[in-house]
Amino acid sequence: MFLIRSTADEVFGPAQFVDNIFTPCETACYTNVKDMLRIGRPLAVPQRSQQMKDRGTIDWSVLSGPRVSRRTLLQLAAASGATAYAAQLSNASASGSTTQRVMGALRQEAKQGGELRWGFGLGQIPTLDPAQVNLGIVAGELLSNLFSGLVQFDQELAIIPDLAEDWEVTEDGLEYTFNLRSGLTFHNGDPLTANDFIYTYERTIDPDFASPQANKLALVTDITAPDDSTLIITQSAPYAPFLATACSRGPGRALAPVPQRAVEEMGDEQFGQAPVGCGPFMIVPETVETGGGFEMVAFENWYAGRPLLDKVTVQLVAEPSTLVSALEAGDVDMVDIVPLIGYEQISSVEDITMVEAAGTNWYGLTMSYNRPPWDNIDARMAVVKAIDFDDLNRKAFFGRAIRSIGPLAPAFGWVYVPADEVDSPQTFNLDEAKELAKKAGLEGVQPQLIGTPADQRVTETIRSQLSEIGLDVQVDQMQTNAYVERRTAGDFDMTMLGSVVDADPDDGVWNYFHSTGPSNPQGYNNPEADRLVDAQRETADEAERTRLLQELQTLVANDAVYRFFYHLPDVTAFYNYVQGYVPIPEQRYLETVWLDQ
């Protein structure tokens, strides 16, 4: 077994930025193959006077193309107050050395042709429409192969050209001018021009379309196309990660261009099942099978040249042990993320390469405020204190999870506090849990805990633990699409959610703990939480933001909005004959992959 491990493990994190919500073992089993660099909402936008001050002291034109180095992004992020983004970029340097080791070990003369069988740890994929995708694993791994963006990343997380061969940013950071490549086409042969980005922008922000990616474009005030190859985007305030988080291949899916003719002819639903993209691979519509997978074939007219592989067959495998067995038996050539249940098993196979990097995420159990008795703080806190993380970690995660005390992930070193340094109100205490359960009248209550088959180890462990306080938990497992629908509708007593957070903690707190947040199906509504979430957005002072975010973390822990559980690593694996894989953090670009068979 050839193991590549990121040297950034101790800092927990090459850049991993998203707003996505995952089911517990859609998180446990493929943590962090989610968005590498994504903006959920404008972060810490300064007050007007501070904006003017910033514009006078920062030359934002250094973001102009054709390459923006990680060093430049790091310096600009730090100068502009986007300290979390700066931390992510700093940590990402390890990924470059990882890539060099992988490519050095595997480099041979590339061969064209062949089929890659790719085991994918999902039971279903709700949609492949970039503007509607809210599962980071889908955006980071599948969309990045079906769609190109204005820009993309290299292995060191520098921003390099994709559909735009160059771009310019004004000194005040408000205007971006992209120069598109000539001769671009969509998979259906339609020409791809600057006007397609305008159509995509208008479609994404349309309230009736209700795109979960619309918030990425909140600062955009104008978007124009002087000609077919020129796109101008104007914003109300400068924001350093804009290129990475709103314009990039995969994560920047808010502006992943879609062809108007195809969307109008197919309709949104059909387009989401078999989209017409512009990336290195194109989907074969007749192969799409709900719960089964689909085929992607090489796009002959991709601007960068035909991919080396002829075909990628995506095989959906919901059950983690089945995914592990499929890889070990040679039924698939590669898996998206190695399930924790199979880590030791796979690592012992000499013919398999594993690539491991630290992850940025948090996951927990939440209870619906709209269903008694979970509107009662005593009932929620009884559940919180009855869950033994150490036992859960051993049984469900094989000791590889890191205990979480809240939504502030370890990669955000400027605000993160390790669990062992905090006197958390959520510490396991069965005696206190039993007292609170008795007070709340939980004896014999049968709460419904919804999840997917991949959650079985987690849900069964929780079910057993909660029986100690008199709860008879009814586990309701369902396929991904049904689960997402019920979760979004708030149709549950309990469920497990999580986030691979953005380039800034804002997205992981605003979405989940603001009363109007899109990832708040449990119905949490605390004016003090709203105040703290809003206030941390309105200051550019790092010390003040740290205070506000940590105060918010303490508040939501005391309110038992979630029983915060864990953080997990990101591991992918493939047979040694799979060559040319370039490990870009949180993404799976496949155009360089080839098979030495």
User: How big is the CA angle at 387 (ends 360 and 456), to the nearest 5 degrees?
Assistant: 70
In this prediction, residue 78 carries a pLDDT of: 59
Mean pLDDT, rounded, of the chain: 83
Please choose, from the candidates 224, 332, 397, 251, the residue with its C-alpha nearest in 3D space to the C-alpha of residue 575. Answer: 332
Binning pLDDT at 50, 70 and 90, where does residue 154 land?
A: confident
SS3 517: coil
Cβ neighbours of 274 (radius 10 Å): 18
Mean pLDDT of all residues in 362-371: 95
In the prediction, which pLDDT does 75 show? 64
C-alpha angle with apex 88: 90 to 244, nearest 5 degrees? 110
Q: Which alpha helices (H) appear in 296-375, and where do they start and end? A: 320-328, 343-347
Burial 496-533 (b: 16+ CB within 10 A, else e): bbbbbbbbbbbbbbbbbbbeebbbbbbebebeebbebb
Chain centroid offset of residue 188 CA = 28
pLDDT tens string 109-143: 899 999 999 999 988 999 999 999 887 778 889 99
* Higher pLDDT, residue 134 or 260: 260
Q: Is the pLDDT of residue 80 over 80?
A: no
Rg (CA), the chain: 23
Residue 165 buriedness (CB in 10 A; 0-12 / 13-18 / 19+): middle
CA distances to 409, 466, 494, 558 from 425, rounded to whole Å, are 18, 18, 20, 6
Q: Are strands 159-161 and 352-357 parallel, antiparallel or unpaired?
A: unpaired
8 A C-beta contact, residue 199 and residue 260: yes
Q: How far is CA 485 from CA 370, 481, 511, 523, 524, in A?
A: 17, 6, 18, 16, 19
**Is 503 or 217 the better-scoring residue by pLDDT?**
217
Average pLDDT over residues 470-485: 91
Distance of CA 394 to the CA centre of its chain: 25
AA letter at 73? L
Residue 17, classed as helix, strand or coil, is: coil
pLDDT value at 546 more than 60:
yes
Amino acid at 495: T
Q: Which superfamily does 2-356+570-595 belong to? A: Periplasmic binding protein-like II (3.40.190.10)
Q: 298-349, pLDDT tens digit by residue?
A: 999 999 999 999 999 999 998 889 999 999 999 999 999 898 888 889 999 9
Weakest mean pLDDT among 181-185, 244-248, 324-328: 244-248
310 token code pair: 């002829």
Spatial distance between the Cα atoms of 14 and 285, rounded to a whole number of angstroms: 35
Higher pLDDT, 576 or 456: 576
Instruction: Provide the residue ranges of all domains of the chain, joining segments of one domain with +.
Output: 2-356+570-595, 362-567
pLDDT at 567 > cutoff 90? no
Tell me the C-alpha distance between 445 and 470, whole Å: 7
Alpha-carbon gap, residue 148 to 255, rounded angstroms: 10
With a pLDDT cut of 90, the percent of the chain lying above it is 57
- Long-range pairs for 49-57 at CB < 8 Å and ≥24 separation? 50/540, 51/237, 51/238, 54/80, 54/81, 54/238, 54/540, 55/171, 55/172, 55/173, 55/238
Higher-pLDDT residue of 491 and 339 is: 491
What lies within 8 Å, CB to CB, of 560 at 6+ separation is 367, 377, 380, 381, 383, 384, 426
CATH hierarchy code of domain 362-567:
3.10.105.10
